[in-house]
Amino acid sequence: MKTYECEIVDPMFAHGADSKIFDLRATEIKGGMRFWFRTALSSKLKNNIKVLKFIESYIFGDTSEKSKVIVSVDCTLSQKTNTIQGTSFHVPELKYPIDPIKYIAFGMYDSPKAEQWHAYVDQGIFKINLSFFSVNKDNSINKQEIQEIESIVDSVMFLYSTFGGIGAKSDKGFGSFQIKSIQFDPKNLVKMADDAVENIYEKSKIIFERIKPKDLNFDPVEFDDKIQTYPFFDPKRPETFGSFLLSSSNYKEALSLIGHKYYIFRRKLEPDGNFNTSYKKENYKAKRALLGLPILYQQPKPTITLVNSTDEKDPIGRKGSILHMSLKKYNSKYHLVYVFLPAMIGKSNKLIADGKKVTPSSDFDGIYAQFKEILGGVN
């Protein structure tokens, strides 16, 4: 068994059906591992979805394939439900101040006035335990494949702990954690990320070639459109990820800085006033939808939703943000780590606003530049 000892960096909202009880589950950890494995390998295989699904299922299991990675969690941390308060800021057009932490933690408290926060933990150590299992045709232990899978998982855990998080709002900086045996180093982030993706690819290819499934090959398949079908992380494009040093002495200060700048960033992409007008225009390039479909459009009039296919009567609801942010510590200082995972907003890459089709913006490069301009000044 292999154990990763993990340190919690900031509030982690992890629970099951009852949001009042903190519950760090192995299923959630494994889901995060699968996501980052798929996201990393996708940068190499591109649109070769059949092989991507095959190798992921072979390693992590599915309804017909037993998982070769068994996950368990040791966590005895005391939960909290008290209010998390940030450093409020004012904007000219509003009469009331905005709490930046409440802004990026929207949905983690039941009432803006009563502020009954969901259960969370914001410090302490937990352990992720992993066991690996693989056998040959004669039922003997396949030590070689176990070593290969363990190596893949090491790289996956680097990506997961560096760019991801656990629990709700992990894309907005919450649920950040660091693995003690995997040192976060902002100076070597590009190389470490590239090494991780290369290792996942090479070890996966070795396993794949040894199995040699019929009618499949490990070659990349180019996308039909310029925008990729689903998120992938390409370390060969360092403009899509990086880190900023924060002048913060605790996570509340750090999250306040991030929340404030993120508020400015979203509204600079697209002003609030556009929501009730421009989204209804046939050729409008919706930018803010790339950061997650606005909560506003869960409400009636105006309505906006995603289209699952060519059938406009088959919506798929809201889409998550292409931007993932996480907090990390390096030499006792806080860093904001970010990564963009651009992808089509839906299978048809369309939104529906009041019955009219709207095409989301595909100007990812412009969004990267604007993010760095605004968030790069967080300190």
Q: For residue 295, what pLDDT band results from cuts at 50, 70 and 90? A: very low
Give the ranges where 61-188 is alpha helix by DSSP (H).
100-104, 143-163
Q: Does an H or E element contain 340, and which?
A: strand 333-340
Task: Using DSSP, state whether 207 is helix, strand or coil.
Answer: helix
**Over the chain, what is the mean pLDDT?**
87
pTM: 0.91
Close Cβ partners of 139 (under 8 Å, ≥ 6 residues apart): none
Give 208-253 pLDDT, tens digit per residue. Answer: 999 989 899 999 888 776 667 778 899 999 999 999 999 999 999 9
Could you tell me the residue ranges of all domains in the chain?
1-81+118-236, 237-379
Please check the confidence at residue 340 and state whether its pLDDT lies above 60: yes
Report pLDDT for 100.
Answer: 97
Give how far Cα 219 sits from Cα of 204, 213, 222, 239, Å: 12, 13, 10, 25
Average pLDDT of the segment spanning 323-350: 86
Rg of the chain, C-alpha, whole Å:
21
Q: For residue 103, what pLDDT band results from cuts at 50, 70 and 90? A: very high
Q: Is 75 left (phi over 0), alpha (psi -120 to 50) or beta?
A: beta
Q: Measured between alpha carbons, how far is 343 from 347 in angstroms, rounded to an integer?
A: 10
Backbone angles phi, psi at 90, to 5 degrees: -115, 150
Please check the confidence at residue 341 and state whether its pLDDT lies above 50: yes
- Distance, C-alpha 356 to centroid of its chain: 30
Q: How many Å from the N-terminal Cα to the C-terminal Cα in the chain?
A: 41
Report pLDDT for 274.
Answer: 64
Give 249-268 pLDDT, tens digit per residue. Answer: 999 999 999 999 999 998 88
Give 39-94 pLDDT, tens digit per residue. Answer: 999 999 988 989 999 999 999 999 888 999 999 999 999 999 999 999 999 988 88
Report pLDDT for 308.
Answer: 43
Q: Does an H or E element contain 274, and which?
A: none
Closest listed residue to residue 266, CA positions, set 292, 297, 245: 292
- Sheet holding 2-8: strands in order across? 69-74, 125-132, 2-8, 177-179
